[in-house]
Structure 1
Amino acid sequence: MRVVAESTDPVRISFLLALLRDAGLPCIVLDAHISAVEGGIGAFPRRIAVAAEDLAQARRVLREAGEAEA
């Protein structure tokens, strides 16, 4: 698995997941349950990961959507 994006913003994470899934790319959110440890303050970013073989396509999809950071 390779990380393609990270954010502390749950809305942005949801948006990025939708972009990747709409493109047919399986993806997962890493650190999704860290809020139980951090107390829900949003200090730790959630990371979105895809399979290594999907990395180039995932980066292209995010870049085309204006998410160049990813």
Structure 2
Amino acid sequence: MKELIRTNNAVVLSFATSLLNDAGIHSLIADQSMSVLEGSLGLLPRRLLVEEDRAGEARRLLIDAGLEAELRTER
């Protein structure tokens, strides 16, 4: 899995996940259960992960949707 977005903005994660699902790209939001530890304050970021072989396609889709500023830099 490759990390595309790391944020504590639930709206961005929801929008990105919806776009990816509509395109048939499987995604996973990691660290959701960390809210139990932090007391649901939204301090710890969640990570949006996609399959390695679809990461390029997912990145282009999110850029086209205006989420370029949210994307992690490629390594």
- TM-score where L is the length of structure 1: 0.94
Which structure carries more helix by proportion?
A: 2
**CA distance in 1: counterparts of 2:13 and 2:6, whole angstroms:** 8
Sequence identity (%) = 34
Aligned equivalents of 1:20 and 1:5: distance in 2?
12
CA RMSD of aligned residues (A): 0.8
The alpha-carbon deviation at position 30 of structure 1 amounts to 0.4
Structure 1 alignment gaps of length 5 or more: none
Q: Structure 2: which 5+ runs fail to align?
A: none
- Find runs of 4+ consecutive structure 1 residues off by over 3 angstroms: none
Residues paired across the two proteins, number: 70
The TM-score, its normalising length taken from structure 2, stands at: 0.88
